A and B are shown apart, each in its own frame.
Chain A
């Protein structure tokens, strides 16, 4: 693979042998960072669709079931008149009890417990709903009623995820800079080692671009080799993390989605890193050769 005649003995460079491993490490880290970003993007999208347009109204239990019914009726009638509300639905007693099961188990007859009533309210996305005002009006009519606006904690969560995503981009940027630095160092060393041969090429009429092409082709080949290696190491690692996330019931995270776009994105990683290495090598050679006669 990548076997090609070159005028300079670049394949004999000791440093060149380490470059694929360094690039493999960079691609491995990039793949983990990209996967993390994609998962968080998906999660945010899912939370946004699922929770951004909903609020929950909670009515504390009254002394009697009849009183509960009255209070529920008052709240529902107010919600029905309120503009900006698309739909609302009071959770049944069975649904409420099933929500409590993880804490109280199957042994207890939860129906006898004083459980607050919950109403799922879907807000019309096209209109603005003043949740604080709604809460005040409801509390004025039915004392003790509270409104839980999911958008509040969701916006905090989205902010947190955005910070994490910025950090992931910063990591990618650092990886790119580290790759550039490594290739610059390796190329400069190559230029020093092969100075005599490069001078001969110049003296027989080689353009700088002719010499730079040889370094660039070498960097591309090593970059692809290292990139493929890094991706080959990253994929099982990601699969393992995904499996562990599912096994431990990390329900906030979406299930791994192997869409063609994601697959293409991951396959593009080694190519992108190899291209970066190639362009860096070419630029480094062109800049350094300008100092030669």
Chain B
């Protein structure tokens, strides 16, 4: 079986992206993720992390290269087929992008309702998840009346409510304390154990140190997948960082 025959969740081959006629903000990005992979995406501000995530959640299409999600070439997929692909992707936006006029409950319920799930089932799942993220008493609260951390938890709950095959999170622990941050990371890990592929863009090296997951780094629009180099440069080999289990890392990381 060649690399291209393997089932992949995400496959980028020499992907480039530019906005309008501007310079390329992503250049020759190449990587491959399989079901159950978990990856931290690191990089300075402006390195292209958000642009890469936008490609992954199909807010943008690449200007060159091959990009496949769930073995589907989304660069050339007709737009009427994109919703079905998007329903398999959960996204935690950096700025949350919650609907301010909807309650916490309705915000989290959105992906299920969009997918046509029965209301009784929506109610059961949403209440359970909001309770799990500590917002049981805020089911009917609207986002503007909640703190940044509470809004972030709603955004995370909305992203994971349909148990997506691919979960993308842009700074998901940016507005919560360390304890809640770790708790949310464990939620991502639980989903990951169930087979969800997870990509987390973060500046929080403390979280990265504590979690035993591979990293990749964007440097001025180019993706560095040399993990040893990244670990050394960022000091992630700190004794506090648990060593990644070889089979997990070796088996799931397929960086080119």
Q: Report A's interface with B, CB cutoff 8 A.
A: 5, 7, 9, 12, 196-197, 199-208, 210, 290, 293
Contacts and interface: CB of A to CB of B under 8 A. Distances in A.
Contacts of B57: 203
A202 to B, nearest CB: 7
A293 B60 contact: yes
Given A200-B99, A201-B110, A207 B59 contact: no
B83 A206 contact: yes
B249 interface: no
B207 interface: no
Nearest to B112: A204
B111 A9 contact: no
A205 B99 contact: no
B87 A204 contact: yes
Contact of A203 (B58, B79, B99, B113): B58
Contacts of B82: 293
A12 B83 contact: no
A203 B59 contact: yes
Contacts of B80: 207-208
Contacts of A293: 58-61, 79, 82
Point out which of B61, B79, B80, B84 has the most chain A C-beta atoms below 10 A from its C-beta: B79
Contacts, number: 51
Given A7-B99, A197-B99, A293-B59, A202 B106 contact: no
Interface in B222-241: none
A203 B110 contact: no
Q: Which 6 A-B pairs have the closest CB atoms?
A: A205-B87, A9-B101, A205-B86, A206-B114, A204-B111, A205-B83
B91 interface: yes
Contacts of B101: 9, 12
A204 B58 contact: no
Contacts of A7: 99, 102, 106, 110, 113
A207 B82 CA distance: 9
Contact of B115 (A12, A199, A203, A205): A205
A202 B86 contact: yes
Given A199-B59, A210-B114, A293-B58, A204 B99 contact: no
Contact of B110 (A204, A208, A290): A204
A252 to B, nearest CB: 58
Nearest to A210: B114
Nearest to A290: B79
A205 B59 contact: no
Contacts of A290: 79
Contacts of A205: 83-84, 86-87, 111, 114-115
Interface in B70-129: 79-80, 82-84, 86-87, 91, 97, 99-102, 106, 110-111, 113-115
B91 A5 contact: no
B163 to A, nearest CB: 13
B158 interface: yes
23 contacts: A7-B99, A7-B106, A9-B100, A9-B101, A199-B59, A200-B97, A201-B110, A203-B57, A203-B59, A203-B91, A204-B86, A204-B91, A205-B84, A205-B87, A205-B114, A205-B115, A206-B83, A207-B80, A207-B83, A293-B58, A293-B59, A293-B61, A293-B79
Nearest to A207: B83
A196 B115 CA distance: 20
A52 B44 CA distance: 92
A188 B50 CA distance: 29
B98 to A, nearest CB: 8
Contacts of B100: 9
